[in-house]
Structure 1
Amino acid sequence: MWYSVLHKSRIHTSVHFLKKAAHNLKGKSTADQRWIVRQLNDPFVKAAHVQNYRCRSAFKLLEIDDKYKLLKPGFNVIDCGAAPGAWSQIAVQRVNSNGANAEFPCGTVVGVDLQRIAPLNGAHFLSNHDITDPVTHCKLLELLPGAQAHVILSDMAPNASGLKEMDHEKLITTALCLVDLADKVLRSGGSLVCKYWDGALAYQLQEKLSAVFREVRTVKPKASRKDSSELFFLARSYRDIK
């Protein structure tokens, strides 16, 4: 297994920690019970706890970056919908924004979310900020060296209503705003990774991305559950046509 190198005692501690949650099943709704049981049986949840990642989604970005090499030391990164901060943790490690490796240049990581994000060494968080707000854009330009980002990341999604088509439309609308953000902050040749839920409107997002990026592809990391409609667009080589 990909996490078999971890010390057995730490894995045992992680499993014990997760199994304690099973005692909270009593009194929960059927849907809540299913969610808890799924979390208990999820190897990515266990591995995230062992490796001190804030949530299992860290492994989605790890797989994408391991394959496509988007994050490099010295790069400036914007993490959209950053809470609870797992993607920012990966970005901090990969761009060396905490200065952990003195042999490489230090990058910058700025996370944005409508919710509060707990502090993280090497990241600057704009909690309670809307990524579509021009005021947020101005703050990003102030925080980013050279007022430009090399990479925009987005794992954000609206709160699920249970109505699949409505939720799909909301997420596509939100993701479309990232193209406008790229127009303001992304440097020529930069990259963007954004989540979307598969559906009838996905082509609109793909077309808008293809208009400003030379390469756009769909990726589904192993940490994205097979029964989920979650996918990611990976767009590279931004064409600054301003």
Structure 2
Amino acid sequence: MSTGGKGGGKKSAGGGSRATGSAPGTSRNLTVKVKTAKRRKLSSTLWLQRQLNDPYVHEAKRQGWRSRAAFKLIQLDERFHILKPGLRVVDLGAAPGGWTQVAVQKIGGKAGGVVVGMDILEWDPVPGAITLQGDFLADDAPDRLKEALGGPADVVLSDMAAPTTGHPSTDHLRIIALVEVALHFALEVLSPGGTFVAKVFQGGTEKTLLDALKKNFATVRHAKPPASRQGSAETYVVAMGYRGDTI
């Protein structure tokens, strides 16, 4: 099972020019069509065509975000006010760094503010953040993250994704397993009042996971930000107001 992060190739280590989740303009009126190459699978061709015609992809490049996924976090933050100056933030499944960039910009370098990102993939450092490479499922990963944080976290973000099989129920179980591990870590490091955000598939969370979230957090919501592709089954669970010591 992979604990890789958001889609999008590596970019330079620059930050976004502004954190706004407004829908990008659709100035590209012509649809770019990609011919199927001899050695390219149809699925790869369709993915490339989506990328070329995705306004969020173009806007991410224009604003300096490393991936279109940055807009998902920006939009979630606009709705739930997750990120604030001076917070300690953990970004799991961080590569190529779009969410980490947003977190750095939102906390604003205020005293006490720390952003730590981890991904199993190699990724370029993000200015203002601590970037770690490693498998979050490895035994030493929680200790590495805690050491980098230097104290309790205020926000734990997880955009981790397992490789999809094309079988909805299997994919759902795989990503729920990642969320459960991320939640266990969050319950260890969050300070009271903290927030946990994680990607799940449509259909919501499993009952046991949802029960754990409701037990440990004052408010639990599901949300699909506009930047999530309409055809995607992904959605996000946002758990706010960590009660503390209720595992």
Deviations along 1:176-230, one digit per CA (max 9) or x if unpaired, are 1122102221111000110001248633322221111110000000011112111
Matched residue pairs, number? 224
* CA distance 1:222–1:132, shift in 2 (3 Å): same
Gaps of 5+ in 1: 5-10
Aligned residue number for residue 91 of structure 2 = 79
Is the 1:81–1:157 contact (alpha carbons within 8 Å) kept by the matching residues of 2?
Answer: yes
| 2:41 is the counterpart of 1:26 | no
Aligned residue number for residue 142 of structure 2 = 137
**Could you tell me which of 57, 62, 67 is aligned with 2:79?**
67
Is the 1:95–1:106 contact (alpha carbons within 8 Å) kept by the matching residues of 2?
Answer: no
CA distance in 2, matches of 1:223, 1:56: 8
Superposed, 1:23-172 pairs within 5 Å as: 25-27=36-38, 28-96=40-108, 99=109, 104-105=110-111, 107-127=113-133, 129-145=134-150, 147-172=151-176
Deviations along 1:74-131, one digit per CA (max 9) or x if unpaired, are 10000000011110010010012xx4xxxx435111001111121110111110x222
CA distance in 1, matches of 2:42, 2:52: 15
The two structures have a TM-score, normalised by structure 2, of 0.82
Where is the helix percentage greater, Structure 1 or Structure 2? 1
Query: Identity rate of aligned residues, in percent?
Result: 37
1:32 aligned partner, one-letter code: S
**Could you tell me which of 187, 208, 213 is aligned with 1:204?**
208
Is the 1:25–1:36 contact (alpha carbons within 8 Å) kept by the matching residues of 2?
Answer: no
2:168 aligned partner, one-letter code: K
CA distance in 1, matches of 2:41, 2:135: 32
1:143 aligned partner, one-letter code: A
Is the 1:169–1:201 contact (alpha carbons within 8 Å) kept by the matching residues of 2?
Answer: no
2:127 aligned partner, one-letter code: N
**Could you tell me which of 177, 187, 210 is aligned with 1:173?**
177
2:37 aligned partner, one-letter code: K
Secondary structure of the structure 1 residue equivalent to 2:181:
helix
Supply the RMSD in Å over aligned alpha carbons.
2.5
Secondary structure of the structure 2 residue equivalent to 1:162:
coil
Point out which structure has higher relative CO (alpha carbons under 8 A, 6+ apart). Answer: 2
Aligned residue number for residue 245 of structure 2 = 241
Is the 1:187–1:238 contact (alpha carbons within 8 Å) kept by the matching residues of 2?
Answer: yes
* CA distance 1:185–1:133, shift in 2 (3 Å): farther
Aligned residue number for residue 12 of structure 2 = none
* CA distance 1:200–1:85, shift in 2 (3 Å): closer
1:141 aligned partner, one-letter code: K
The two structures have a TM-score, normalised by structure 1, of 0.84
Q: CA deviation at 1:36?
A: 1.0
CA distance in 2, matches of 1:215, 1:71: 16
CA distance in 2, matches of 1:2, 1:217: 22
* CA distance 1:120–1:182, shift in 2 (3 Å): same
Runs of 4+, deviation exceeding 6 Å:
none
Secondary structure of the structure 1 residue equivalent to 2:68:
coil
* CA distance 1:166–1:69, shift in 2 (3 Å): same
CA distance in 2, matches of 1:233, 1:201: 8
Q: CA deviation at 1:48?
A: 0.7
* CA distance 1:188–1:134, shift in 2 (3 Å): farther
Is the 1:83–1:113 contact (alpha carbons within 8 Å) kept by the matching residues of 2?
Answer: yes
CA distance in 1, matches of 2:35, 2:185: 42
